[in-house]
Amino acid sequence: MEFNFIALLLAGIVTLVVGFIWYHPNVFGTIWMRENNLTQEQLRTGNMLKIFGLTYVFSLMITMTLMSLTIHQSGAIGMVGGPPLVESAKPSFAAFMADYGTAYRTFKHGALHGFISGLFFAFPVIGINALFERKSWKYIFIHAGFWMVTLTLMGGIICGFA
């Protein structure tokens, strides 16, 4: 199975683009700052190259996980003896790929799995951390909403174009 690594690199940028919009003061940024007791001056401090650079690296790590969650063939290939370039590939691999090689490889399908990942993984993780940190439900919903939108778009890009 071939992958479009450019699509993975582009999917990694989604976190930055959605974050720029989501946390903008005219969207949820002002509420987010209030819930975190942050000021504009505090947000202007820090090494922005490090923050954005590491955000992109972490986003690429997320794309690798989303690839296995959205592209079902990647998990099934291991079960049927693939990939074909390896001598150990079984005849069932060719039959599987003939039947299901590109099945469910659409933006819509990836977006669905991305959203489900946000709802059933990111939301609970953020919720657990926020409860122990004594954060508000606004805080939880702002961050969980961000990750649901982000993972939806990332999943769509990965499944549809990678």
Tens digits of residue pLDDT in 18-43: 999 999 999 999 999 999 999 999 99
**Cα distance between residue 135 and residue 160, in whole Å:** 36
Task: Identify the pLDDT of residue 74.
Answer: 72
Given 3-state DSSP classes, what are the helix, strand and coil percentages for the chain, each rounded to the nearest 5? 80, 0, 20
**Residue 130 and residue 140 in contact, taking contact as beta carbons nearer than 8 Å:** yes
Task: Identify the pLDDT of residue 86.
Answer: 62
Q: 110-125 b/e with 16+ CB inside 10 Å = b?
A: bbbbbbbbbeeebbee
Q: Is the model's pLDDT at 82 over the cut of 70?
A: no
Amino acid identity of residue 134, one-letter, is: R
pLDDT in tens, 104-134: 889 999 999 999 999 999 999 999 999 999 9
Reported as a pLDDT band with limits 50, 70 and 90, residue 1 is low
The C-alpha R_g of the chain, in whole angstroms, comes to: 19
Reported as a pLDDT band with limits 50, 70 and 90, residue 87 is low
Query: Nearest 5°: phi and psi at 83?
Result: -80, 165
Q: Is the model's pLDDT at 56 over the cut of 60?
A: yes
pLDDT in tens, 131-155: 999 999 999 999 999 999 999 999 9
**Residue 65 and residue 75 in contact, taking contact as beta carbons nearer than 8 Å:** no
User: Burial, 60: exposed, middle or buried (Cβ in 10 Å; 0-12, 13-18, 19+)?
Assistant: middle
Task: Identify the pLDDT of residue 55.
Answer: 98
**Cα distance between residue 158 and residue 71, in whole Å:** 8
Residues 6 or more apart whose CB falls under 8 angstroms from that of 83 comprise 1, 77, 89, 93
